[in-house]
Amino acid sequence: MEKVTLKLYEFYNLEAELNGLVNQQTGEKIATGLLAEKLSMVTKYWLSDLAKKVAAEKESIEKLKEELIKKHGKEDDKGGISIPMAIEELDADGNPVKSTDADGNEVTKRVVNPAYLEFEKEFNDLLQQERDVEYNAFKLADFAAVETAQNYNTFFKLVSVEEAKVVPM
């Protein structure tokens, strides 16, 4: 087994590179992922094993993210907690500040939510932390038959490139 140290944000990248990426709003598949490529059964097995480890780490990061949302967010009338990026600007009396848009319509001015900035800072600090992951060694030759338009930058950190043997003449 090999071991690599990744920053926590790289676990998100690696999970998408292995399993693909779906647009959360439309459900449309954006990228297929390395596991969808035609691979030998052995390589696919070890990739699946790695994907499980990456998914577990991503799940623990998501739990910490939820805690941060609870810490910095506000509960709505339905019990949901969120942190809007922008909030209404209020005057000294607590009333929304109004302005006029380009079309002459009166609109409420919005400002960046300080709670969102705090959440973003703490979450980004978390994502910079490092974690080790153990995996079966991958060689570039394991993927020689793969033809893809995708780029797997984070996964490439886990692939060893064998030196080509020079045959004397």
pLDDT surpassing 80 at residue 167: no
d(CA 95, CA 123): 31
- What would the pLDDT profile of 104-124 be if each residue is shown by its tens digit? 888 889 999 999 999 999 999
pLDDT surpassing 90 at residue 8: yes
Residues contacting residue 20 through CB under 8 Å, at least 6 positions apart: 29, 30, 31, 32, 33, 35, 36
- What would the pLDDT profile of 65-95 be if each residue is shown by its tens digit? 999 999 999 998 888 999 999 999 988 888 8
Neighbours of 87 (CB within 10 A): 17
pLDDT surpassing 80 at residue 163: no
What pLDDT does 165 receive?
A: 54
d(CA 154, CA 69): 27
pTM for the model stands at: 0.80
**Residue 52 backbone phi and psi in degrees, to 5:** -65, -45
Please count the residues of the chain.
169
Give the bridge partners for 138, in sequence order: 159
Task: Work out the average pLDDT over 11-31.
Answer: 90
Domain ranges of the chain: 2-74+81-160
pLDDT surpassing 90 at residue 15: yes
